[in-house]
Amino acid sequence: MASKPVLTEDGSVTRFHPEYEEHYHSMCGAHKEALKRFVEPCRLIEVALQKGAIRFLDVGFGLGVNLGIALHELQSRAPKVSIEVVSLEKELLSLSDLRPHIASLPGKETSTLLEQLVVEGEVSNTGLKMELIQGDALEQVPLLPGEFDAIFLDPFSPKKNPEPWQAHFLGALWEVSSKGGILSTYSAAASVRMSLMRAGWEIGLGPRVGRKSSGTLASKGSVDPPLPALDPKQRRSLEKRLTE
């Protein structure tokens, strides 16, 4: 059971997970991290406007914040675009525990839709389809149909929760990504970056959010504009370790 809501620096709330001994979000701001770590680096708005539709995968529904901020941004900035979301969660919190986080999302409609998703497991409206799948993501991802334009990879840290960071799972994510699809994660660990490379992803430097180190971006094939480049010394070190 997660603890009580914890206020972050941007005024939004997160929680501390007693088993993993980590907060669900950066203390610099749950909403800020969702926007700056996932929505913007995955180029959700740009892709949606270009294609007229967007399909993204949320690995780790958690408190619903990443999905909620993404939904609000898309509906505000690309209102005519068709949106499809699949969110995965192994340990779904109760609605009463989730309510403070859902209620704090910008826009009453966003909060209403997220609450419906938690209660019913799906939302199907004109131009919007969302599905919340409970269970082990390692088992669920290979069963997902279609391809995703963006993937939010936000499980607890590799040290506390190693399975979602292994090459075989990252390879399963590569399989369900569209060509040119972008994955974003907060982890900058060399082991994670090497696992992404082994799985076929092209990797780049993610944005720095709060006091954490820069995360990691990955794409299925090349993208235009290119992902921000890793430091050449870091890349050489990763490539050398991959051949050892």
State the total domains in the chain. Answer: 1
Burial 64-89 (b: 16+ CB within 10 A, else e): bbbbbbbbbbbbeebeebbbbbbbbb
Whole-prediction pTM = 0.96
The pLDDT score that the predictor gives to residue 61 is 98
Q: Quick one: 30 exposed, middle or buried, by C-beta within 10 A (0-12, 13-18, 19+)? A: buried
15 domain-assigned:
no
16 domain-assigned:
no
CA angle 230, 234, 239 (to 5 degrees): 100
> For residues 68 and 228, what is the distance between their CA atoms, to the nearest angstrom?
26
38 domain-assigned:
yes
The pLDDT score that the predictor gives to residue 3 is 76
3 domain-assigned:
no
User: What CATH number does residue 63 fall under?
Assistant: 3.40.50.150
The pLDDT score that the predictor gives to residue 152 is 99
The pLDDT score that the predictor gives to residue 85 is 99
114 domain-assigned:
yes
162 domain-assigned:
yes
Structure tokens at 100: 């403070």
14 domain-assigned:
no
22 domain-assigned:
no
Residues spanned by the domain of 110 = 29-243
Going residue by residue through the chain, which has 244 residues, state the pLDDT in tens, using 9 for 90 and above. Answer: 457 899 999 999 999 999 889 999 999 999 999 999 999 999 999 999 999 999 999 999 999 999 999 999 999 999 999 999 999 999 999 999 999 999 999 999 999 999 999 999 999 999 999 999 999 999 999 999 999 999 999 999 999 999 999 999 999 999 999 999 999 999 999 999 999 999 999 999 999 998 777 999 999 999 999 999 999 999 999 999 999 8
